[in-house]
């Protein structure tokens, strides 16, 4: 009984101390609507479920509260917003550029790459890396997308006319092949060797990052290190970092030998293809000043950010086309107008001609944004329109899912309509009402790369297959916001050969 009283007094003392310490935060929070929060627990019990259940709860609150809602979790204030005016204030702000605390779970893998870096480090590295995404360089990557896309279509062709299949794993391996070759300049042939240790390590890390974002008992580092997942993470990191470091070392050696006029030695580590981001980075005048660790963090960041996001976007683009056959036919007719009945591979100029397909991909990203939540840690008080003050130490979570379905902006917001991205429609819309690649100074540096890959891949699928929805109720999508937007039941579609 004495111990119970001591514990109760200690909890009460901490509660009073916390209230006094965070008085400014609490005063600001009173102005924001939200579900009832309980002492100590806050709103954590509302989210004590899996990733699918958490996303459903977020959708519920998004629909229940008009502009924004606040959540208390682990003693911290989270403000979820979906208004384009709030989005503009947040994303155009050049002070509050630090990512949400949830991103810390990616640190063991990608360190202080562009995703996690902040302040002067982020600005310096962004300036160094930006030239590697020049459109002339992106044109060179189209060969990679074409070659790997053909392999993916061969895999899908084996299932044509045989009922529904989950297309996500095929698109995921394709995206991994593409990013390995464009980021590191090596061809791992992942689609043909999907059980390699590197692929398994990538999947393990993505799984662990996702779990730590949603499982409360894995969030504290101390508890995580006591779990079996910590050992799994360490083993995966040894492979991931080891691979990247070996490629960096090999490439630096090749560049030194070339500079010295020596004959380049070949390494059978992986088959080298075209120059990747890694080569371009370490050859640039500013990039060569980066340490091996800094280069590794940037390359690993490309690997992390450049495969799951693309996989999600490709999957939902095909899903939307399958469920809108008339629009799929329109997109297919555009392909015929460009290629006729030939089977030639698209050029960069061909990709630019795919105006309607670009609308399709953008509309799919409106309804199913690859990044459904964008988080910022507020380092200085931030005032939103209407006199609402978000206090220092709070986090703002921008709900791109809700932002993209705002009925004040979008006619029939739940309907798939590529004409939402006609030039006239875009012109009258606030640019911050559609941010699948974020916006402002911290917008996605790879968005042109992503659009090129998405158009090249979807076009290839359209030319070879007709895509149909699964007839089975069990195959209906169940959305979840994990590292990216996914369906926990897969993206199950039927495929029919056009030939």
Question: CA-CA distance, 449 to 141, in Å (whole number)?
Answer: 9
Contact 369, 479 (CB under 8 A): no
Could you tell me which residues come within 8 angstroms of residue 220 by beta carbon, excluding any fewer than 6 positions away?
none
CA distance 316 to 333: 20
Per DSSP bridges, beta strands 271-272 and 395-399 are unpaired
Length of the chain: 499
Backbone angles phi, psi at 228, to 5 degrees: -70, -20
Is residue 494 part of an annotated ligand binding site? no
Place of tokens 């990039």: 287
Say how far residue 464 (Cα) sits from the centre of its chain.
28
Label residue 136 exposed, middle or buried (CB < 10 Å: 0-12, 13-18, 19+). Answer: exposed
Residue 490 Ramachandran class (φ > 0 left, ψ -120 to 50 alpha, else beta): left
Enumerate residues 6+ apart whose C-beta is below 8 A from 60: none
Beta strands 395-399 and 76-81, pairing class: parallel
> Quick one: CA dihedral 117, 121, 127, 128, positive or negative?
negative
Residue 353 has a CB neighbour count (10 Å cut-off) of 16
Q: What CA–CA distance (Å, rounded) separates 160 from 101?
A: 44
Helical (H) or strand (E) element with 453: helix 447-464
Sign of CA dihedral 154, 454, 478, 419: negative
Residues 465, 498 contacting (CB under 8 angstroms): yes
Rounded distance, CA 377 to CA 153, Å? 42
Token pair 């300036």 is at which residue? Answer: 127
Binding residues for heme: 444
Binding residues: 444
């Amino acid at each position: 009984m004495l111990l119970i009283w001591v514990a109760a007094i200690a909890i009460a003392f901490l509660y009073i101390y916390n209230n006094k310490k965070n008085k400014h935060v609490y005063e600001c929070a009173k102005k924001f609507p939200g579900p009832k929060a309980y002492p100590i627990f806050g709103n954590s019990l509302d989210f004590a479920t899996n990733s699918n259940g958490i996303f459903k709860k977020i959708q519920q609150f998004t629909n229940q509260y008009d502009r924004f809602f606040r959540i208390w979790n682990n003693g911290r204030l989270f403000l979820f917003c979906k208004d384009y005016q709030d989005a503009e204030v947040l994303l155009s702000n050049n002070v509050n550029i630090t990512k949400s605390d949830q991103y810390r779970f990616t640190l063991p893998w990608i360190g202080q790459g562009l995703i996690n870096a902040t302040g002067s480090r982020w600005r310096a590295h962004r300036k160094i890396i930006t030239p590697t995404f020049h459109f002339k360089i992106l044109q060179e990557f189209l060969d990679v997308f074409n070659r790997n896309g053909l392999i993916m279509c061969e895999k899908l062709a084996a299932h044509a006319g045989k009922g529904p299949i989950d297309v996500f794993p095929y698109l995921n391996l394709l995206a991994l092949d593409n990013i390995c070759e464009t980021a590191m300049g090596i061809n791992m042939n992942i689609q043909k060797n999907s059980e390699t240790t590197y692929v398994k390590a990538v999947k393990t890390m993505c799984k662990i990052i996702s779990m730590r974002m949603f499982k409360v008992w894995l969030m504290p580092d101390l508890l995580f290190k006591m779990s079996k997942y910590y050992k799994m993470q360490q083993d995966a990191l040894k492979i991931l970092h080891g691979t990247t470091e070996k490629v960096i070392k090999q490439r630096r050696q090749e560049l030194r030998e070339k500079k010295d006029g020596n004959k380049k030695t070949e390494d059978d580590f992986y088959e080298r293809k075209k120059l990747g981001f890694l080569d371009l980075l370490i050859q640039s005048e500013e990039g060569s000043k980066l340490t091996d660790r800094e280069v590794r963090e940037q390359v690993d960041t490309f690997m992390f950010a450049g495969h799951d996001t693309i996989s999600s976007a490709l999957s939902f683009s095909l899903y939307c086309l399958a469920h809108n056959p008339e629009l799929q036919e329109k997109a297919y007719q555009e392909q015929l107008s460009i290629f006729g009945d030939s089977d030639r591979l698209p050029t960069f100029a061909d990709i630019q001609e795919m105006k309607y397909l670009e609308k399709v991909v953008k509309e799919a990203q409106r309804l199913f944004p690859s990044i459904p939540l964008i988080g910022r840690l507020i380092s200085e008080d931030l005032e939103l329109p209407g006199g609402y003050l978000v206090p220092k130490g709070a986090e703002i979570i921008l709900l791109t899912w809700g932002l993209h379905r705002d009925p004040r902006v979008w006619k029939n917001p739940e309907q798939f309509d590529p004409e939402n991205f006609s030039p006239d429609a875009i012109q009258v819309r606030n640019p911050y009402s559609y941010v699948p690649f974020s916006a402002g100074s911290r917008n996605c540096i790879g968005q042109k790369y992503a659009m090129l890959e998405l158009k090249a891949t979807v076009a290839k699928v359209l030319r070879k297959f007709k895509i149909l929805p699964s007839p089975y109720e069990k195959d209906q999508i169940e959305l979840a916001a994990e590292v990216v937007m996914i369906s926990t039941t897969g993206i199950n579609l039927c495929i029919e050969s056009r030939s």
